[in-house]
Amino acid sequence: MTQEQIVKLDETTRILLADYQSTTKEFESLKLYNDQVQKIINSQIEEIENIILKIDELDKTNQRIVPLMLKMIEGLENFILLDLPFLMTERSTRVQNLKNTMDRGDISTSEKFRLITEAYKTELEYGRTIETYRDNILIDGVETSADFLRVGRIALTYLTVDGNKGGYWDTQASSYMKASSSIRRATGDALKIASKQAPPALIKIPLYRDSNE
């Protein structure tokens, strides 16, 4: 072997060695990268499994809580029908909105439950407050505008806007009865106080019709 051949062989060896070293470094780098990617993939798989488990648990929770919420809405609706008939449009609309909400997939179960509990809180609050409002009522077959007085869930009376007629809700008869003059006066006094047309004062709660009148 000539000197020239030896030099060429040595040069080729050095080139191959450099390529080998470069390839080895690249392999090690790729291996580290692949190992890291694999760790990420493993972590993602584990997270997916956890999510699937949570979904399964949520489905089981929904299976229990959704029927409960439906029963709560039904119970609220029945309660309103048996209660004093005040603000019926507003209260019935609130129940219908709850029913519509239950059919919506873009509202979470927790939000649906919150809305139902809020409706229950609103109904509970009615029993602790005195309220006046204007609404229409059928009197002798004629729709008439009247001012209503609600005292908790104890009494519900009304006085027509002209002040000529009045009535009260009889829970036993489940209907409005014609109010005596004393009940009309008590209702009128309370309405004036509520609208700030008269100074605050103790009022006679119009509970029963005066049998002497």
Strand order in the sheet with 142-151: 130-139, 142-151, 155-160, 166-170, 175-178
Rounded Cα–Cα distance for residues 168 and 206 (Å): 8
Higher pLDDT, 143 or 30: 143
The stretch 16-40 carries a mean pLDDT of 62
- Residue 176: pLDDT band (50, 70, 90) is very high
203 phi/psi in degrees, rounded to 5? -120, 155
pLDDT tens digits, one per residue of 1-21: 565 655 555 666 666 566 556
Q: Is the pTM of this model over 0.75?
A: no
- Residue 195: pLDDT band (50, 70, 90) is confident
The stretch 56-63 carries a mean pLDDT of 68
Given this model, what pLDDT does residue 102 score?
94
Is the Cβ–Cβ distance between 206 and 155 less than 8 Å? yes
In sequence order, which residues have a C-beta less than 8 Å from that of residue 159 and are 6 or more positions away?
146, 147, 149, 165, 166, 179, 184, 187, 188, 191
Given this model, what pLDDT does residue 211 score?
40
Rounded Cα–Cα distance for residues 113 and 153 (Å): 26
- Residue 210: pLDDT band (50, 70, 90) is very low
Given this model, what pLDDT does residue 7 score?
54
Rounded Cα–Cα distance for residues 126 and 154 (Å): 11
Higher pLDDT, 19 or 43: 43
172 phi/psi in degrees, rounded to 5? -70, -40
pLDDT at 59 over 90: no
What H or E segment, with its residue span, contains residue 23?
Answer: helix 3-82
Given this model, what pLDDT does residue 130 score?
86
Given this model, what pLDDT does residue 63 score?
73
Rounded Cα–Cα distance for residues 37 and 84 (Å): 67
